[in-house]
Chain A
Amino acid sequence: MIAIDICKTLYGSMGEMELNVDLQINEGEFIALAGESGSGKTTLLRIIAGLEKARGTLKVGDEIWMDAKHALPPQKRKIGFVFQDYALFPNMTVLQNLLFVQKDHALAAQLLEMTGLDELRDRLPATLSGGQKQRVSLCRAMMNRPGILLMDEPLSALDPAMRTKLQQEILTLHKNFGTTTIMVSHDPSEIYRLAGRVVMLDHGRIIQDDTPKKVLLKTSGSQKFSFEGELLDIVQVDIIMVAIVSIGQQLVEVVISPEEAASLHIGERVTLSTKAFAPILSNR
């Protein structure tokens, strides 16, 4: 059991903010940490890692990592940290990057094999693709057999296909090593695939803590299919009104009544929803 009860005053672009988190995590859980940027996600990870100070207590199993009197230094905490920008040592080969953490050749070989990096062991990071670099940094994080794996948007710089592949590898490592994993992520499909629990932060506070489905499934009333977008325009066609809404990377048209049109404002954020029965799903 990891018991986090911490408090820290942050000074961000929005002024002062109190990060106040009271969270219990069971061993072996995979937690997604979500929330808007500036909500305190990265700071929370860094506090758990011991890279930042905070008030309060942090207990991992029987060990006290932080309390009012002392704080365990980062190198004594059994953690692995994966950053968005890889943070590899540029002058070391893939293998040397791993061995720097722990001179455990057998484990390094096992990790490189699991992630398909075997043939790249003697390459320098600069000669690797983004996906390969992040694999190396993931392997390096596992080198001290961490009890807790912390990942700060590890896949956000990668293309969707590479992301899906690495998600699978992250899940495999998480299960094989029995780590407790906390990952900052904004991607709903990633959260759904990997995490068993989502903790949503807002302005330094936990506003939701539940299963991915409960947190991410957008519903309003009995509407089960809902997207947020921006209302771009409303045009009249025959006797109906057509609203043009931008959602993600595309525009959609929705037929609305004149009464609805009157209550909507161009440029505002809108939720587009329909019942689960109506949409038609087809593959490409």
Chain B
Amino acid sequence: MSILSATVASIQSNDGLNIVTFAVGEESLSMVSLELDEVIRVGSECLLNVNASSVAIGKNCSGMLSYSNQLSARVTAIESGELLARIVLDISGKHLESLITVASCKRLGLKAGDEVKALVKATEISVSRVLA
């Protein structure tokens, strides 16, 4: 799991369903959520949880993808096991991890220093704590 510090930029609500947009460094991130804690308002600083296994990686992306979150990232480290690989990413100075199969890691030819896109569905992001 990765924890990202973020600031709420906007909140759209309909019928108990919310889409919250956060600013994470220079990137923007959106989250789909059911009931939202009342303390979360525009300007709130939050810690976001992103599970490493729900972060996909794109390299030289050209087609269109539905992912709400396509963050520009740089690969800082790769930890390869027998079957799974942990890709450590830097997103405008913030740390995010992605857990993918070794096969995918090889298919993309990933190595430290690569510029990639970190792909995260808006439903896979959650707020772990509201700081202010």
Binding site for B on A (CB under 8 A): 235, 237-238, 240, 242, 253, 255, 277-278, 280-282
Query: Are A237 and B15 neighbours in the complex by a CB distance under 8 Å?
Result: yes
Binding site for A on B (CB under 8 A): 1, 14-17, 34-35, 49, 51, 53-54, 99, 126, 128
CA–CA, A235 to B17, complex, Å?
Answer: 12
Known contacts: A237-B34, A253-B34, A255-B34. The answer to whether A278 contacts B51 by CB under 8 A is: yes
Query: Are A280 and B128 neighbours in the complex by a CB distance under 8 Å?
Result: yes
Known contacts: A238-B14, A238-B15, A282-B128. The answer to whether A277 contacts B34 by CB under 8 A is: no
| A278 contact from B15, B35, B54, Cβ within 8 A | B54
Q: Closest B residue to A276 by CB, please name it.
A: B53
| A280 contact from B1, B16, B17, Cβ within 8 A | B1
Main secondary structure of the interface of B (DSSP, over half): mixed
Nearest CB on A from B5, distance (A)? 16
Taking A237-B16, A237-B17, A278-B54 as known contacts, 8 extra A-B pairs with beta carbons closer than 8 A to each other, sorted by chain A number, are A235-B16, A237-B15, A242-B34, A255-B34, A277-B53, A278-B53, A280-B126, A282-B49
- Chain A residues in 8 Å Cβ range of B128: 280, 282
CA–CA, A195 to B64, complex, Å?
Answer: 54
A-B CB proximity, top 8 nearest: A277-B53, A238-B17, A237-B17, A237-B16, A280-B49, A237-B15, A238-B14, A253-B34
CA–CA, A277 to B15, complex, Å?
Answer: 30
CA–CA, A235 to B16, complex, Å?
Answer: 10
- Chain B residues in 8 Å Cβ range of A278: 51, 53-54
- Chain A residues in 8 Å Cβ range of B54: 277-278
